[in-house]
Amino acid sequence: MLVVKISLFIQVIVMAGLIFSQPDKFEPLRQRMVKTQIMDRGITNSAVLNAIRKVPRHLFIPKEYEEEAYNDYPLPIGFGQTISQPYIVAYMTEAVKPSAKKKALEIGTGSGYQAAVLAEIVEKVYTIEIVPELAEASSERLKKLGYKNVECKFGDGYKGWPEHAPFDIIIVTAACEKIPVPLIDQLAENGRLVIPVGAPSAVQELELVTKKNGKTETKRLTFVRFVPFKRL
Ligand code: SAH
């Protein structure tokens, strides 16, 4: 009798373990996305690839688009804003050369997805969002998903976040006509800033700004299309 009870107990434990350790149903789609949309287009940084393999992108978008979460395009997240195409997130993250000891600033939290990808790699992420509803929702989402190294705030990212500057990494995910000067000032020595520059209604160029001996250098990377950078 005791043996039966013990074996039943073990069976229950094993089943519970199976249920709770099951990867989400999107896992295969996510792995395929990394292979076909990201690696096959030339992204090689293993920290970036692993971060994107891990972050559950479907939890960052409205339920109605869940099935499209791992497709090769941006998706609406409400308030006229979008979550970027997965490849662009990978491209921008690789461009800023993230690593464990670095401190990052993101302008345009949106869904919080880019912040989560960065947070998988770097020590600390500060992120600013100008739409109050999105700022609140993404902050909640990141907390719920256990990202303790991300600090979110509502506000105009034009001014950066001087209290936490300088930043090794700055990622701007909204299109500016000109690079905000406070962001250049808040970039650390040897830091890297990526930002889409150009007219909001057109295609923009993704620019990479690096700082060496206090001097900045700007390089054009590729053409992109982002939502406009707004001001409060
Ligand atoms: N990085 C986001 C994509 C966001 S789309 C993600 O991973 O989901 C760009 C976001 O920038 C929008 O949410 C928009 O509201 C925000 N934004 C635009 N101008 C801003 C500004 N001046 N400061 C902070 N956020 C801004």
End-to-end CA gap in the chain:
72
Dihedral over alpha carbons 220, 222, 223, 224 (to 10 degrees): -110
From CA 83, how far away is CA 81, in angstroms rounded?
7
Residue 15 pLDDT:
56
- CA–centroid distance, 228 to ligand 1, in Å, is 8
Question: Ligand 1 centre from 86 Cα, in Å?
Answer: 16
C-alpha span between 33 and 70 (Å, rounded): 6
- Which 8-state DSSP code applies to residue 176? B
Q: What pLDDT was estimated at residue 201? A: 86
Distance between CA atoms of residues 60 and 92, nearest Å: 18
At 63 the pLDDT is 97
Hey, which residues are catalytic here? Answer: 84
Query: Residues near 108 by Cβ (< 8 Å), separated by ≥ 6?
Result: 128, 129, 130, 157, 172, 173, 174, 227, 229
- Ligand 1-lining residues (CB < 6 angstroms): 81-84, 107-108, 110-111, 113-114, 128-131, 134, 156-158, 173-174, 227, 229-231
Q: Please, is 231 exposed, middle or buried when counting C-beta atoms within 10 Å of its C-beta (0-12, 13-18, 19+)?
A: exposed
pTM for the structure as a whole:
0.92
pLDDT tens for the chain, 232 residues long, are: 656 666 666 565 555 554 455 568 999 999 999 999 999 999 999 999 999 999 999 999 999 999 999 999 999 999 999 999 999 999 999 999 999 999 999 999 999 999 999 999 999 999 999 999 999 999 999 999 999 999 999 999 999 999 999 999 999 999 999 999 999 999 999 999 999 999 988 999 999 999 999 999 999 999 999 999 999 9
* Ligand 1 center from residue 29 Cα (angstroms): 26
